[in-house]
Amino acid sequence: MQYRPLGRSHLKVSALCLGTMTWGEQNTQSEAFAQIDRARDAGVNFIDTAEMYPVPPRGETYTATETIIGNYFRERGNRDKWILASKIAGPNRDMRHIRGGQTRFNREHLTAALDASLQRLHTDYIDLYQLHWPDRSTNMFGDLGYRHDLDEQLTPIEESLEVLDEMVQAGKIRHIGVSNETPWGVSRFLHLAETRGWPRIVSVQNPYNLLNRSYEVGLAEMSMREQTGLLAYSPLAFGTLTGKYLNGLRPDKARLTQFSRFIRYTNPEAQSACARYVQLARDHGMDPAQMALAFVTRQPFVTSNIIGATNMDQLNRNLSSINMGLSDAILEAIAAIHRSQPNPAP
Protein backbone atom coordinates (compact mmCIF):
# COMPACT_ATOMS: atom_id res chain seq x y z
CA MET A 1 0.00 0.00 0.00
CA GLN A 2 1.08 3.58 -0.65
CA TYR A 3 0.56 6.36 1.88
CA ARG A 4 0.19 10.06 1.15
CA PRO A 5 -0.03 13.25 3.22
CA LEU A 6 -3.53 14.46 3.97
CA GLY A 7 -3.18 18.11 2.99
CA ARG A 8 -0.78 19.96 5.23
CA SER A 9 -1.68 17.82 8.23
CA HIS A 10 0.67 15.34 9.85
CA LEU A 11 -1.60 12.45 8.86
CA LYS A 12 -0.72 10.00 6.11
CA VAL A 13 -3.59 8.14 4.51
CA SER A 14 -3.57 5.09 2.31
CA ALA A 15 -3.81 5.76 -1.42
CA LEU A 16 -6.95 3.62 -1.41
CA CYS A 17 -9.76 4.65 0.95
CA LEU A 18 -12.53 2.27 1.95
CA GLY A 19 -15.89 3.63 0.81
CA THR A 20 -18.98 2.65 2.78
CA MET A 21 -22.12 4.02 1.19
CA THR A 22 -23.63 0.59 0.42
CA TRP A 23 -23.47 -0.60 4.05
CA GLY A 24 -26.94 -0.86 5.48
CA GLU A 25 -28.59 -1.04 2.06
CA GLN A 26 -26.76 -3.43 -0.29
CA ASN A 27 -24.49 -4.81 2.43
CA THR A 28 -25.25 -6.24 5.86
CA GLN A 29 -23.29 -5.41 8.99
CA SER A 30 -21.43 -8.72 8.89
CA GLU A 31 -20.44 -8.09 5.27
CA ALA A 32 -19.27 -4.61 6.19
CA PHE A 33 -17.18 -5.97 9.08
CA ALA A 34 -15.54 -8.44 6.68
CA GLN A 35 -14.76 -5.63 4.23
CA ILE A 36 -13.13 -3.53 6.96
CA ASP A 37 -10.99 -6.45 8.12
CA ARG A 38 -9.94 -7.28 4.54
CA ALA A 39 -9.08 -3.66 3.73
CA ARG A 40 -7.01 -3.37 6.89
CA ASP A 41 -5.11 -6.53 5.99
CA ALA A 42 -4.28 -4.88 2.65
CA GLY A 43 -2.84 -1.83 4.40
CA VAL A 44 -5.82 0.52 4.09
CA ASN A 45 -5.97 2.91 7.06
CA PHE A 46 -8.57 5.36 5.73
CA ILE A 47 -12.36 4.92 5.83
CA ASP A 48 -14.95 7.39 4.53
CA THR A 49 -18.60 7.64 5.47
CA ALA A 50 -21.38 10.21 5.92
CA GLU A 51 -24.40 10.84 8.10
CA MET A 52 -26.53 10.55 4.95
CA TYR A 53 -25.41 7.01 4.08
CA PRO A 54 -26.38 4.50 2.88
CA VAL A 55 -27.50 5.48 -0.59
CA PRO A 56 -30.01 5.90 -2.00
CA PRO A 57 -30.83 8.11 1.00
CA ARG A 58 -34.14 7.34 2.68
CA GLY A 59 -35.59 7.68 6.11
CA GLU A 60 -35.73 3.95 6.80
CA THR A 61 -31.96 3.49 6.45
CA TYR A 62 -30.70 6.95 7.45
CA THR A 63 -27.55 6.71 9.67
CA ALA A 64 -27.24 2.93 9.20
CA THR A 65 -23.73 3.16 7.75
CA GLU A 66 -22.25 5.20 10.59
CA THR A 67 -23.97 2.89 13.05
CA ILE A 68 -22.35 -0.16 11.46
CA ILE A 69 -18.90 1.45 11.62
CA GLY A 70 -19.48 2.43 15.23
CA ASN A 71 -20.47 -1.13 16.07
CA TYR A 72 -17.26 -2.32 14.46
CA PHE A 73 -15.13 0.02 16.55
CA ARG A 74 -17.01 -0.98 19.70
CA GLU A 75 -16.53 -4.70 19.05
CA ARG A 76 -12.96 -4.59 17.71
CA GLY A 77 -11.60 -1.78 19.87
CA ASN A 78 -9.26 -0.58 17.13
CA ARG A 79 -10.49 2.95 16.47
CA ASP A 80 -6.90 4.23 16.75
CA LYS A 81 -5.88 2.11 13.75
CA TRP A 82 -8.09 4.08 11.39
CA ILE A 83 -8.21 7.57 9.95
CA LEU A 84 -11.95 8.20 9.96
CA ALA A 85 -13.75 10.63 7.67
CA SER A 86 -17.42 11.56 7.74
CA LYS A 87 -19.67 14.29 6.34
CA ILE A 88 -22.57 16.51 7.28
CA ALA A 89 -25.39 16.60 4.76
CA GLY A 90 -26.04 19.92 3.06
CA PRO A 91 -29.25 21.68 2.03
CA ASN A 92 -31.69 21.53 -0.85
CA ARG A 93 -31.62 17.82 -1.68
CA ASP A 94 -35.20 16.95 -0.63
CA MET A 95 -34.25 14.76 2.34
CA ARG A 96 -36.84 15.62 4.96
CA HIS A 97 -35.67 12.77 7.19
CA ILE A 98 -32.46 14.70 7.97
CA ARG A 99 -33.24 17.39 10.55
CA GLY A 100 -36.53 18.27 8.89
CA GLY A 101 -35.00 18.69 5.43
CA GLN A 102 -33.57 22.13 6.19
CA THR A 103 -29.98 21.16 6.90
CA ARG A 104 -27.54 24.06 6.75
CA PHE A 105 -23.91 24.55 7.67
CA ASN A 106 -24.76 26.83 10.56
CA ARG A 107 -24.12 26.37 14.27
CA GLU A 108 -27.37 24.55 14.96
CA HIS A 109 -26.98 21.92 12.27
CA LEU A 110 -23.20 21.48 12.46
CA THR A 111 -23.46 20.88 16.19
CA ALA A 112 -26.39 18.49 15.94
CA ALA A 113 -24.87 16.55 13.05
CA LEU A 114 -21.41 16.17 14.54
CA ASP A 115 -22.58 15.16 17.99
CA ALA A 116 -24.93 12.55 16.52
CA SER A 117 -22.18 11.17 14.26
CA LEU A 118 -19.76 10.89 17.16
CA GLN A 119 -22.33 8.95 19.14
CA ARG A 120 -23.15 6.58 16.29
CA LEU A 121 -19.48 6.03 15.47
CA HIS A 122 -18.57 5.31 19.11
CA THR A 123 -15.66 7.72 19.01
CA ASP A 124 -14.62 10.97 20.67
CA TYR A 125 -13.28 12.51 17.48
CA ILE A 126 -13.47 12.39 13.68
CA ASP A 127 -10.18 12.78 11.85
CA LEU A 128 -11.67 14.46 8.77
CA TYR A 129 -15.05 16.18 8.91
CA GLN A 130 -16.37 17.21 5.51
CA LEU A 131 -19.18 19.40 4.19
CA HIS A 132 -20.96 16.96 1.88
CA TRP A 133 -21.97 19.57 -0.69
CA PRO A 134 -22.04 23.39 -0.74
CA ASP A 135 -24.54 25.41 1.26
CA ARG A 136 -25.40 27.33 -1.88
CA SER A 137 -26.70 26.64 -5.37
CA THR A 138 -23.84 25.77 -7.68
CA ASN A 139 -22.92 23.33 -10.41
CA MET A 140 -22.56 19.92 -8.74
CA PHE A 141 -23.79 16.33 -9.08
CA GLY A 142 -23.51 16.43 -12.86
CA ASP A 143 -25.01 19.87 -13.39
CA LEU A 144 -22.42 21.95 -15.26
CA GLY A 145 -24.57 25.02 -15.84
CA TYR A 146 -24.15 27.62 -13.10
CA ARG A 147 -27.17 29.85 -12.54
CA HIS A 148 -26.79 32.67 -10.04
CA ASP A 149 -29.63 33.41 -7.61
CA LEU A 150 -29.39 36.89 -6.10
CA ASP A 151 -32.16 36.10 -3.61
CA GLU A 152 -30.74 32.80 -2.38
CA GLN A 153 -30.64 32.23 1.36
CA LEU A 154 -27.35 30.59 2.28
CA THR A 155 -25.05 30.16 5.24
CA PRO A 156 -21.92 32.31 4.87
CA ILE A 157 -18.73 30.26 4.73
CA GLU A 158 -17.42 32.52 7.50
CA GLU A 159 -20.14 31.26 9.84
CA SER A 160 -19.42 27.61 9.02
CA LEU A 161 -15.67 27.97 9.49
CA GLU A 162 -16.05 29.75 12.80
CA VAL A 163 -18.10 26.86 14.19
CA LEU A 164 -15.75 24.26 12.70
CA ASP A 165 -12.84 26.06 14.33
CA GLU A 166 -14.53 25.70 17.72
CA MET A 167 -15.02 21.98 17.06
CA VAL A 168 -11.34 21.57 16.22
CA GLN A 169 -10.35 23.47 19.36
CA ALA A 170 -12.65 21.21 21.39
CA GLY A 171 -10.97 18.10 19.96
CA LYS A 172 -14.13 16.76 18.34
CA ILE A 173 -12.63 16.91 14.86
CA ARG A 174 -9.00 17.04 13.77
CA HIS A 175 -9.25 18.37 10.23
CA ILE A 176 -11.87 19.65 7.81
CA GLY A 177 -12.57 19.07 4.15
CA VAL A 178 -15.11 19.92 1.46
CA SER A 179 -16.96 17.80 -1.06
CA ASN A 180 -18.62 18.43 -4.41
CA GLU A 181 -16.96 21.83 -4.36
CA THR A 182 -15.98 24.29 -7.08
CA PRO A 183 -12.77 26.29 -7.56
CA TRP A 184 -14.49 29.38 -6.15
CA GLY A 185 -15.57 27.51 -3.04
CA VAL A 186 -12.16 25.99 -2.41
CA SER A 187 -10.42 29.33 -2.87
CA ARG A 188 -12.86 31.03 -0.50
CA PHE A 189 -12.31 28.45 2.24
CA LEU A 190 -8.55 28.81 1.86
CA HIS A 191 -8.65 32.60 1.88
CA LEU A 192 -10.73 32.75 5.04
CA ALA A 193 -8.49 30.22 6.78
CA GLU A 194 -5.44 32.28 5.93
CA THR A 195 -6.89 35.65 6.90
CA ARG A 196 -8.95 34.63 9.95
CA GLY A 197 -6.78 31.90 11.44
CA TRP A 198 -9.51 29.28 11.03
CA PRO A 199 -8.88 25.63 10.08
CA ARG A 200 -7.53 25.03 6.61
CA ILE A 201 -9.25 22.45 4.44
CA VAL A 202 -7.01 19.45 3.78
CA SER A 203 -8.99 17.75 1.01
CA VAL A 204 -11.66 17.98 -1.66
CA GLN A 205 -13.92 14.97 -2.20
CA ASN A 206 -15.28 15.19 -5.74
CA PRO A 207 -16.08 12.71 -8.52
CA TYR A 208 -13.21 11.68 -10.76
CA ASN A 209 -13.00 8.83 -13.26
CA LEU A 210 -12.30 8.10 -16.91
CA LEU A 211 -15.76 9.34 -17.90
CA ASN A 212 -15.62 12.49 -15.80
CA ARG A 213 -12.25 14.26 -15.60
CA SER A 214 -13.71 17.72 -15.01
CA TYR A 215 -11.66 17.97 -11.80
CA GLU A 216 -8.62 18.50 -13.99
CA VAL A 217 -10.00 21.88 -15.06
CA GLY A 218 -9.23 24.32 -12.25
CA LEU A 219 -9.37 22.11 -9.18
CA ALA A 220 -6.37 19.91 -10.00
CA GLU A 221 -4.07 22.94 -9.97
CA MET A 222 -5.64 24.05 -6.70
CA SER A 223 -4.94 20.64 -5.20
CA MET A 224 -1.30 20.72 -6.24
CA ARG A 225 -0.46 24.31 -5.34
CA GLU A 226 -2.46 24.45 -2.10
CA GLN A 227 -2.01 20.85 -0.88
CA THR A 228 -5.74 20.19 -0.89
CA GLY A 229 -5.64 16.81 -2.58
CA LEU A 230 -8.56 15.05 -4.18
CA LEU A 231 -10.39 12.24 -2.43
CA ALA A 232 -11.77 10.75 -5.62
CA TYR A 233 -15.24 9.27 -5.40
CA SER A 234 -17.02 7.22 -8.09
CA PRO A 235 -13.68 6.11 -9.61
CA LEU A 236 -15.59 3.35 -11.44
CA ALA A 237 -18.45 5.67 -12.45
CA PHE A 238 -21.11 3.78 -10.46
CA GLY A 239 -19.57 0.53 -11.67
CA THR A 240 -20.04 1.23 -15.37
CA LEU A 241 -16.29 1.15 -16.04
CA THR A 242 -16.20 -2.51 -15.05
CA GLY A 243 -18.11 -3.20 -18.26
CA LYS A 244 -20.87 -5.09 -16.48
CA TYR A 245 -23.62 -2.77 -17.73
CA LEU A 246 -22.59 -2.61 -21.38
CA ASN A 247 -25.10 -3.50 -24.09
CA GLY A 248 -27.97 -2.97 -21.71
CA LEU A 249 -26.93 -5.64 -19.22
CA ARG A 250 -28.30 -5.33 -15.70
CA PRO A 251 -26.71 -7.96 -13.43
CA ASP A 252 -28.72 -9.23 -10.50
CA LYS A 253 -28.29 -7.13 -7.32
CA ALA A 254 -26.09 -4.56 -9.08
CA ARG A 255 -26.62 -0.90 -8.20
CA LEU A 256 -28.04 0.25 -11.53
CA THR A 257 -30.28 -2.79 -11.58
CA GLN A 258 -31.77 -2.04 -8.18
CA PHE A 259 -31.89 1.76 -8.24
CA SER A 260 -33.12 3.64 -11.30
CA ARG A 261 -31.94 7.00 -9.92
CA PHE A 262 -28.28 6.33 -10.79
CA ILE A 263 -28.27 7.50 -14.40
CA ARG A 264 -25.31 9.87 -14.40
CA TYR A 265 -23.07 7.57 -16.43
CA THR A 266 -25.67 5.87 -18.62
CA ASN A 267 -26.17 8.37 -21.45
CA PRO A 268 -25.28 7.06 -24.94
CA GLU A 269 -22.05 9.08 -25.21
CA ALA A 270 -20.83 7.85 -21.81
CA GLN A 271 -21.69 4.26 -22.70
CA SER A 272 -19.82 4.59 -25.98
CA ALA A 273 -16.69 5.89 -24.27
CA CYS A 274 -17.03 3.28 -21.54
CA ALA A 275 -17.06 0.49 -24.12
CA ARG A 276 -13.83 1.83 -25.59
CA TYR A 277 -12.09 1.97 -22.20
CA VAL A 278 -13.26 -1.54 -21.34
CA GLN A 279 -12.04 -2.90 -24.67
CA LEU A 280 -8.70 -1.12 -24.22
CA ALA A 281 -8.17 -2.85 -20.89
CA ARG A 282 -9.09 -6.24 -22.29
CA ASP A 283 -6.82 -5.76 -25.31
CA HIS A 284 -3.92 -5.32 -22.86
CA GLY A 285 -4.91 -8.25 -20.68
CA MET A 286 -6.12 -6.04 -17.82
CA ASP A 287 -9.25 -6.09 -15.74
CA PRO A 288 -11.24 -2.99 -16.83
CA ALA A 289 -12.01 -2.01 -13.24
CA GLN A 290 -8.38 -2.26 -12.20
CA MET A 291 -7.25 -0.16 -15.17
CA ALA A 292 -9.81 2.52 -14.34
CA LEU A 293 -8.82 2.57 -10.68
CA ALA A 294 -5.10 2.59 -11.45
CA PHE A 295 -5.60 5.63 -13.69
CA VAL A 296 -7.24 7.56 -10.85
CA THR A 297 -4.75 6.53 -8.15
CA ARG A 298 -1.72 7.52 -10.21
CA GLN A 299 -2.80 11.15 -10.65
CA PRO A 300 -0.49 13.52 -8.71
CA PHE A 301 -3.40 15.60 -7.41
CA VAL A 302 -5.16 12.55 -5.90
CA THR A 303 -4.58 11.96 -2.20
CA SER A 304 -6.76 8.86 -1.97
CA ASN A 305 -9.02 6.87 -4.27
CA ILE A 306 -12.30 5.88 -2.58
CA ILE A 307 -13.12 2.30 -3.52
CA GLY A 308 -16.39 0.61 -2.68
CA ALA A 309 -17.70 -2.92 -3.16
CA THR A 310 -20.80 -4.99 -2.55
CA ASN A 311 -18.98 -8.33 -2.39
CA MET A 312 -15.56 -9.60 -1.41
CA ASP A 313 -14.49 -10.46 -4.95
CA GLN A 314 -15.04 -6.86 -6.02
CA LEU A 315 -13.16 -5.58 -2.99
CA ASN A 316 -10.18 -7.86 -3.61
CA ARG A 317 -9.93 -6.79 -7.24
CA ASN A 318 -10.22 -3.13 -6.26
CA LEU A 319 -7.52 -3.50 -3.61
CA SER A 320 -5.22 -5.25 -6.08
CA SER A 321 -5.39 -2.23 -8.39
CA ILE A 322 -2.79 -0.52 -6.17
CA ASN A 323 -0.19 -2.80 -7.75
CA MET A 324 -1.28 -2.19 -11.33
CA GLY A 325 1.04 -0.14 -13.48
CA LEU A 326 -0.15 1.49 -16.70
CA SER A 327 2.16 1.30 -19.68
CA ASP A 328 2.88 4.24 -21.94
CA ALA A 329 0.82 2.54 -24.63
CA ILE A 330 -2.21 2.28 -22.37
CA LEU A 331 -1.85 5.88 -21.18
CA GLU A 332 -1.55 7.12 -24.77
CA ALA A 333 -4.65 5.15 -25.74
CA ILE A 334 -6.60 6.54 -22.75
CA ALA A 335 -5.56 10.05 -23.81
CA ALA A 336 -6.74 9.40 -27.37
CA ILE A 337 -10.17 8.23 -26.19
CA HIS A 338 -10.45 11.23 -23.89
CA ARG A 339 -9.58 13.64 -26.71
CA SER A 340 -12.28 12.20 -28.92
CA GLN A 341 -14.91 11.88 -26.17
CA PRO A 342 -13.96 14.25 -23.34
CA ASN A 343 -16.02 14.04 -20.14
CA PRO A 344 -19.11 12.36 -21.63
CA ALA A 345 -20.65 12.16 -18.15
CA PRO A 346 -20.28 15.49 -16.29
Is the separation of the CB atoms in 86 and 51 below 8 Å? Answer: yes
- pLDDT score at 315: 97
Domain boundaries, the chain: 3-236+292-325
Per CATH, the number for 3-236+292-325 is 3.20.20.100
Q: Is 3 tagged catalytic?
A: no
- pLDDT score at 145: 81
Cβ burial, residue 289 (10 Å; 0-12/13-18/19+): buried
What string of pLDDT tens digits covers the 346 residues of the chain?
A: 999 999 999 999 999 999 999 999 999 999 999 999 999 999 999 999 999 999 999 999 999 999 999 999 999 999 999 999 999 999 877 888 999 888 999 999 999 999 999 999 999 999 999 999 999 988 888 777 888 888 888 899 999 999 999 999 999 999 999 999 999 999 999 999 999 999 999 999 999 999 999 999 999 999 999 999 999 999 999 889 998 878 776 767 667 766 766 667 888 999 999 999 999 999 999 999 999 999 999 999 999 999 999 999 999 999 999 999 999 999 999 999 999 999 998 8
How far is the C-alpha of 3 from the C-alpha of 26, rounded, in Å?
Answer: 29
Catalytic residue, candidates 53, 72, 215, 265: 53
Nearest to 280 by CA among 306, 243, 234: 243
Provide the pairing of β-strand 3-5 with 12-14.
antiparallel
- pLDDT score at 249: 61
CA atoms within 13 A on the CB side of 28: 2
